[in-house]
Structure 1
Amino acid sequence: MTTAPAPDELLATCWSSAGDAASDRADLRSPLSLRERVEAASAAGFRGFGLLSDDLPAAVTAYGLTGIRDLLADNGITHLELEGIPWWWDVGAHEQESFRVRHALLEAAEVLGARHLKVTPDGDDGPWDRGLWAARFAELAAQAHDVGARLGIEFFPWSNVASLAEGLQLVTAAGHPAGGVIIDTWHVARAGTPPADLAAVPLERIIGVELNDADECVVGTLFEDTVHRRRYCGEGDFDLTAMITDLRSAGWTGPWGVEILSDEHRTQPVGEALRRAATSARHALETAPALAS
């Protein structure tokens, strides 16, 4: 008798449930309460949830860390992603602020049982010290490991860590087993990375995967395009079937993050937006061939 494969689990990344909030605004905080967001994600069938560091203080004030833990558990959320440590690589003017946010996220990760922390590169793409970045990433990966989590860096095509290859180079230089990359299909496609390259990524270096889609042509800058014009899975021009198939070839079984950032998405009621995000992502996963057992 054959056993049916476990269904793919979805994780709503922080921006997917944030409502009318965007990463190009001065205030990154979501206007929605954590309860609204978690309950909407659960109702849409998500079993993972992402929370931005900017939204953590209000959530802690409202519920306390143990209250957040209970809220997630009561709604069937078993995978938690925490993200957003500004200037995590800095040893200069921003170090104190970076340390404050880092401490808060690490404390939350330990109490909440977070799956991983996510950090991002320097979007200004200025000169940078690769050795320093590798050392700081290794330090943060060790701290994440100490609280039972892992650490992933998400590469951005407009940044100093612009591609999957560059992200893997940084992670390899850091050399900590708890460190790896976050693979977002938008960044894979916009960086011109062939989907087949995904199959060769060592599974132990894949911390998270994020699904989304977009039109073939970029409108405005890459940053403007990614913040305002992403599309739901299957509604754009990406070869999601190939990307999902190759990620499965690498051994990835989830959770599959769904990260939708667009003017269309953020102006819908959060429940409706998350249902559409989940339904389209499930369809993309079901369309991609499953690996033979």
Structure 2
Amino acid sequence: MRNERLMALASGVHDGNPPEVSPPDMVRIAADAGYNSVGLWVAPGDNWHSSTAGEVAAALQETGLVALDVEVIWLQPGGKPDPLHHEIIAMGGEVGAKNCLIVSSEPDREITKRLFEDLCVHAERAGMRACLEYMAITEVKTLDDALDVVNAVDHPAGGILVDPFHHERVGQPPRKPRRSPRDG
């Protein structure tokens, strides 16, 4: 699967938050639908318990799928790192997730940068990338906003998630992501 493009069933494609489907079942549903990877909604104590990582790892092994990402780490106003966010990253690392998805409702861009850097450090330790997603309903609304944060932090584990739906909703030109710098 190394050279194969990953097509993931996103964890946000469901009713309810967290999904009504368990994370291991989400893996099996993605496999049955023909995807080769899956996004996982991680809500510690709600849909994710002490046995969940093992169950998800077994489902990934059984299906051959890749855990593309865990979500969602939502930065709230207040400016302090949240231990729950670190826990979500650790849980993603346990199942071999490639990325953790981050959005920010923190209005102070400098605080967002500091919090994002903290998450990058934790993500790197877990073998993941910390991907900042921009959306009209957050304080990081556009690709330019996300680039400002990620470039300022300049951490090797930092990245940006470009969701075409959110990209279009904020009126960004479709070709803009192609003109943005990316690593080689």
TM-score by length of 2: 0.86
Q: Deviations along 1:177-225, whole A, 9 cap, x unmatched?
A: 2111110111211211112211112233xxxxxxxxxxxxxxxxxxxxx
* Selected match of 1:113 from 86, 90, 96: 96
Larger fraction in strand: 2
* Selected match of 2:67 from 63, 79, 83: 79
Quote the offset at 1:88 in angstroms.
Answer: 5.7
* Selected match of 1:8 from 5, 9, 13: 5
Specify the alignment match of 1:256 in structure 2.
none
Unaligned stretches of 5+ in structure 2? none
Matched residue type, 2:92: A
Q: Is the 8 Å Cα contact of residues 104 and 138 (structure 2) preserved in structure 1?
A: yes
The percent of aligned pairs where both chains have the same amino acid is 23
Aligned residue pairs, count:
182
Name which one, 1 or 2, has greater alpha-carbon Rg: 1
* Selected match of 1:43 from 23, 32, 40: 32
Higher RCO by CA contacts (8 Å cutoff, separation 6 or greater): 1
Q: What is the correspondence of 1:256-271 to structure 2 with a 5 Å cutoff? A: none
Query: Structure 1 44/141 Cα, relative in aligned 2: closer, same or farther at 3 Å?
Result: same
Q: Is the 8 Å Cα contact of residues 52 and 83 (structure 1) preserved in structure 2?
A: yes
Q: What is the correspondence of 1:1-293 to structure 2 with a 5 Å cutoff? A: 7-16=4-13, 18=14, 20-21=15-16, 28-54=17-43, 57-61=46-50, 63-87=51-75, 90-91=78-79, 98-99=82-83, 101-122=84-105, 128-204=107-183
Matched residue type, 1:69: A
Give SS of 1:194's match: coil
Tell me, in whole angstroms, the C-alpha distance in 1 between the residues paired with 2:140 and 2:181. 18
Matched residue type, 1:138: E
Q: Deviations along 1:208-261, whole A, 9 cap, x unmatched?
A: xxxxxxxxxxxxxxxxxxxxxxxxxxxxxxxxxxxxxxxxxxx8xxxxxxxxxx
Quote the offset at 1:104 in angstroms.
Answer: 1.9
Tell me, in whole angstroms, the C-alpha distance in 2 between the residues paired with 1:41 and 1:197. 30
Q: Is the 8 Å Cα contact of residues 79 and 111 (structure 2) preserved in structure 1?
A: no
Q: Deviations along 1:247-293, whole A, 9 cap, x unmatched?
A: xxxx8xxxxxxxxxxxxxxxxxxxxxxxxxxxxxxxxxxxxxxxxxx
Larger fraction in helix: 1
TM-score by length of 1: 0.56
Quote the offset at 1:159 in angstroms.
Answer: 2.8
Tell me, in whole angstroms, the C-alpha distance in 2 between the residues paired with 1:48 and 1:173. 31
Query: Structure 1 55/105 Cα, relative in aligned 2: closer, same or farther at 3 Å?
Result: closer
Query: Structure 1 70/60 Cα, relative in aligned 2: closer, same or farther at 3 Å?
Result: same
Give SS of 2:178's match: helix
Quote the offset at 1:13 in angstroms.
Answer: 1.1
Tell me, in whole angstroms, the C-alpha distance in 2 between the residues paired with 1:113 and 1:30. 20
Aligned-pair Cα RMSD in Å: 2.3
Give SS of 1:180's match: strand
Give SS of 2:75's match: coil
Tell me, in whole angstroms, the C-alpha distance in 2 between the residues paired with 1:55 and 1:102. 10
